[in-house]
Amino acid sequence: MKPFAPAEICKIREDFPILQRKVHGDRDLVYLDNAATSQKPLCVIEALNHYYRQTNANVHRGMHALAEEATADYEAARAKVANFLGATDPKGVIFTRGTTESINLVAQCWGQQLQAGDEILISVMEHHSNIVPWQLIAQRTGATVKAIPLTSSGELDLEAFETLLNPKTKMLSLTQISNALGTVNPVKEMIAKAKANGTTVLIDGAQSAPHLPINLSELGCDFYACSAHKMCGPTGIGALIASPELLNAMPPWQGGGEMIDQVTIESSTWADLPYKFEAGTPNIGDAIAWASAIDYIQTLGMARIEATVQEVVNDAASRLEQEPGVRLTAHPTERGGAVSFWLDEIHPHDVAQLVDQSGVAIRAGHVCCQPLMKHLGHPALNRASYHFYNTQEETTRLLEAIRIARKIFGVA
């Protein structure tokens, strides 16, 4: 599939109001922090505005026009998420605050069955959101958290994975694309090996849902977690997707309105899926706006989005590697939307602040991956992360800003 041509990207950028603004006075904004959150097209902003202006009401409760409209739009959003990700049943789509809450839900509900001696397998490159929840449930149950090491290129060590996978491995929880390194992991093959071992699998799709066509029916994982705000949707909404059979076997996570069937002072019974896991008033407006984001990216086409991101990020990696003083953190065979690097003799925090003065927004720090930083031998890194509205000219702006930073620090 062909990437978008420069003229097409220019037209797409007109859909994103924030990409038209200037920062630090007269600097055109170059936004290269999409792994943290993507920008939002006008149609998403308008969808959220429309909900609060025209149909604001609680869902599943009222018997009036606004409540019926809001409920219909909210449930349509659920169906749209299911269809977009290739889920077989919308009842298996649980709306959450995002990937972090989704993983916590699985750890705290599914994880109650873990026992002393059981093992939870993650990797060294995981985001803290896919480490800490497993540590918490392991402390409660006596299970052990183990991690797949990395190769020198920043990829998962698959030989070590096969060695670590054993009858005691009850959960394999992996990121599909590293938020720090940009590495695309071979999760389909790893899922197949884990399932053959009798291991339950969760995939962190925070970075993959925005960039790759996802078909959960083909992928084969038990749980998939993602966030709307990284795929041109609003913040504060995401989803956990699983089979209804698996979710029905789990206890609820939070108690309150909506998630119940019958309540007495002595005991309660639970609502049918998906409401069993959606206690209280949900994030209605943002779910509806997420549906608008999905409509938008489906209109563009996920295959073309993937091709466009691949083209621009691979170009960026190649050009950064040729830049004096720049060292890439990883050289994966397949890269997602991010490329991270160090600039010799300059702390990443200083680099980010200096390039920001040129209007270029990148990330600096441990990017919620402190075990990975320990593995790399650095406390922090710089990360430029791309989406389909970014251009090679913006990489040129980044390189120019890096040269200015080197001159300021006297390392030119």
Give bridge partners of residue 120 from the DSSP assignment. 145, 171
Residue intervals of the chain classified under CATH 3.40.640.10 are 45-298
Q: Which phi and psi (to 5°) does residue 288 adopt?
A: -65, -40
Read off the pLDDT of each residue in 375-394 and give the average, rounded to a whole number.
98
Active site residues: 368
Confidence of residue 62 (pLDDT cuts 50, 70, 90): confident
pLDDT at 411: 81
| Residue 224: partners with Cβ closer than 8 Å, 6 or more residues away | 85, 87, 202, 203, 205, 214, 216, 240, 241, 242
Single-letter residue type at 377: G
Residue intervals of the chain classified under CATH 3.90.1150.10 are 6-31+302-408
Alpha carbon of 62 to those of 66, 224, 280: distances in Å? Answer: 8, 32, 14
Alpha carbon of 197 to those of 116, 123, 164, 171, 221: distances in Å? Answer: 19, 18, 11, 10, 13
CATH architecture of 45-298: 3-Layer(aba) Sandwich (3.40)
Is the CATH number 2.60.120.10 carried by domain 6-31+302-408? no
Q: What's the pLDDT tens digit per position in 340-382?
A: 999 998 999 999 999 999 999 999 999 999 999 999 999 999 9
| Residue 181: partners with Cβ closer than 8 Å, 6 or more residues away | 125, 154, 329, 330, 332, 338, 340, 372
Give bridge partners of residue 385 from the DSSP assignment. 33, 338
What is residue 277's DSSP assignment?
A: G
Return the H-helix or E-strand segment holding 302.
helix 302-322
Q: Is the pLDDT of residue 243 over 90?
A: yes
Instruction: Tell me if the pTM is above 0.95.
Output: yes
pLDDT at 412: 64
Single-letter residue type at 341: F
Ranges of beta strands (E only) in 278-409 are 326-328, 338-343, 360-361, 363-365, 381-385
Q: What is the mean pLDDT of the chain?
A: 97
